[in-house]
Amino acid sequence: MRITTKGRYSLRAAIALAEMSKNGEMVSINSLSEAEDIPAVFLEQIFFKLKKAGIVKSTRGPGGGFAFNRQLDSITIKELFDAAGEELSMMLCDRHNAECERISSCICHKVLSAVTDTVNEFLGKLTIQAILENPQYRA
């Protein structure tokens, strides 16, 4: 399993937005870019996808920017990764599953599939709010 730069930036930007957006205030891409040292162009692409998924909302013009569209305790990290286009799965083998005659009896495939399921289940329960409140995730 590999989390790409897009996935890491999505998580960092979402946490920064949560910390900077008090009482639903809009936060600009430039503010997030400076706070997280992420290129603004990259953040615009990420937030376009998050907006399309209904995770964030935006306002244009002076005082505009982004804010969450829902409560932080209802937004999971898996949902965030999915919206950003980050696929969370183990590399199961070097062949396509449909082409593999061993797939039904392959122990490696079954173990790595279980790992993928466990990670997705964990991230499907972990919310942005939980990250903000849990000291084990804080620096």
Query: Which pLDDT tens digit goes with each residue over 62-111?
Result: 888 999 999 999 999 999 999 998 887 766 666 556 667 777 788 888 88
Give the pTM: 0.85
Q: Is the separation of the CB atoms in 56 and 68 below 8 Å? A: yes
- Enclosing domain of residue 46: 5-137
pLDDT at 25: 87
pLDDT at 49: 95
pLDDT at 24: 78
pLDDT at 93: 67
CATH number, domain with residue 27: 1.10.10.10
Q: Is 124 helix (H, G, I), strand (E, B) or coil?
A: helix
Task: Please give the tally of structural domains in the chain.
Answer: 1
- Exposure string for 10-37, b = 16+ CB within 10 A, e = fewer: bbbbbbbbbebbeeeebbbbebbbeebe
Beta strand extents in the chain (DSSP E only):
56-59, 65-68
Q: Which residues pair with 56 in a beta bridge?
A: 68
